[in-house]
Amino acid sequence: MTERPSNETTIEAANKMTERPSAGAFQAFVKKHAEPVEQALRDLLPLPLVQPKTLHEAMHYAMFPGGKRLRPMLTLLGCTATGGAIAAAMRPAAALECLHTYSLVHDDLPCMDNDDLRRGRPTCHKVYGDAMALLAGDALLTLAFEGVSAAGGAAVHALAKAAGSVGMVGGQVEDLAAEGVTDEHSIERLTWIHDHKTGALITASLLVGAHAGAGPETLPVEVLQLLRGYGDRLGRAFQIADDCLDMTATATELGKNPGVDVALGKLTWPALVGLETSRQTALSLVEEAASLAEQVVSAAASWRGVARSSLDGAVQLLQDVAFYTVERRT
């Protein structure tokens, strides 16, 4: 079993993970849109007083107060980066958070990771019981598709593919199967798990936002391919950084118990290649994503028939959120 690093190693790794320009543009974007996203979530979820009350209470407990709301922000960013109006992506953005929260509720269950703490407080099943938590997750999943339907059939298809057996659920299956298994194929297997369990939904968030902003128009294949390439790299970097934080951060910083991955014998980047190599890999992926940001916006501007300079702010946002994935500490 991999040992947890010393405090000195932890501090050194944490400092290295933040040796990058601050993601100021993205943080300003989040601040601007945080309350509209929360309102969209409140509008989408049934009130706790609606029958069955306990189910809706459990859904609200899992959803509020939220975490970083990264996936809804990526949905809005996918819309912005392709020249769309953010208002069109707000309800789909809330839908992405519903799907993400469902995955967390189920991931915390005793039959999965058996976590007691999430976002700094007891997990949903600890408060409402395993059965109600399972049903609350189910309800959030189906609610996600109600919300994303506002963005059209292409968005629904993108989300369904990312969430199902060839996406997030498939990644979870392989994650469970890989516990305690280490061999010469571990890196390839871990990359596949990360791409599906985490990366698929991050990429889908961007695609859903782009489809929402396109309205009745069909997005060009080139724009979709570039956005997928950006999202794939962002998702990998995000999960590698998450693996590092599980080994270096405290429960207060994470909002959940650290070291769970190690305790369960899960495949993680630091366990396979060490913290330093993991950090370098994440940074390389982030730099690739930042480079692709220029191409995404240029292709979108060409499709929209607008000057590339009119979307300069979107390039900065895409680059900032990429670096944010390795900067985050809390």
Residue ranges per domain, the chain? 7-327
The dihedral formed by the CA atoms of 171, 161, 114 and 92, expressed in degrees to the nearest 10 = 140
Place of tokens 């395993």: 130
Burial string for 206-237 (b: 16+ CB within 10 Å, else e) reads bbbbbbbbbeeeebeeebbebbbbbbbbbbbb
Place of tokens 């060409």: 302
Amino acid at 126: K
The per-residue pLDDT string of the chain (330 residues; one tens digit each, 9 = 90 and over) reads 344 444 333 334 433 443 444 568 899 999 999 999 999 999 999 999 999 999 999 999 999 988 889 999 999 999 999 999 999 999 999 999 999 999 999 999 999 989 999 988 999 999 999 999 999 999 999 999 999 999 999 999 999 999 999 999 999 999 989 888 888 788 999 999 999 999 999 999 999 999 999 999 999 999 999 999 999 999 999 999 989 988 887 777 677 777 777 777 788 999 899 999 999 999 999 999 999 999 999 999 999 999 998 898 999 999 999 988 877 642
Cα–Cα distance measured from residue 227 to residue 216, given in angstroms and rounded to the nearest whole number: 19
Return the pLDDT at 329.
42
Cα–Cα distance measured from residue 95 to residue 84, given in angstroms and rounded to the nearest whole number: 18
Which segments within the chain are labelled E, that is strand? 117-118, 121-122
Q: How far is CA 52 from CA 91, 109, 122, 128, in A?
A: 24, 21, 22, 13
Amino acid at 271: A
Return the pLDDT at 79.
97
Cα–Cα distance measured from residue 6 to residue 284, given in angstroms and rounded to the nearest whole number: 26
Return the pLDDT at 328.
61
Q: Which helix H or strand E contains 7, and what residues bound it?
A: helix 7-16
Return the pLDDT at 17.
40
In the Cβ-directed half-sphere of 236, how many Cα atoms lie within 13 Å?
A: 25
Cα–Cα distance measured from residue 152 to residue 145, given in angstroms and rounded to the nearest whole number: 11
Cα–Cα distance measured from residue 60 to residue 289, given in angstroms and rounded to the nearest whole number: 34
Amino acid at 118: R
In the Cβ-directed half-sphere of 54, how many Cα atoms lie within 13 Å?
A: 10
Contact assessment for residue 318 and residue 235, using Cβ atoms and an 8 Å cutoff: no
Contact assessment for residue 147 and residue 92, using Cβ atoms and an 8 Å cutoff: yes
Contact assessment for residue 200 and residue 168, using Cβ atoms and an 8 Å cutoff: yes
Cα–Cα distance measured from residue 301 to residue 309, given in angstroms and rounded to the nearest whole number: 9
DSSP 119-185: TTEE-HHHHH-HHHHHHHHHHHHHHHHHHHGGG-HHHHHHHHHHHSTTTHHHHHHHHHHTTT--STT
Contact assessment for residue 210 and residue 79, using Cβ atoms and an 8 Å cutoff: yes
In the CATH scheme, what is the code of domain 7-327? 1.10.600.10
Cα–Cα distance measured from residue 307 to residue 222, given in angstroms and rounded to the nearest whole number: 18
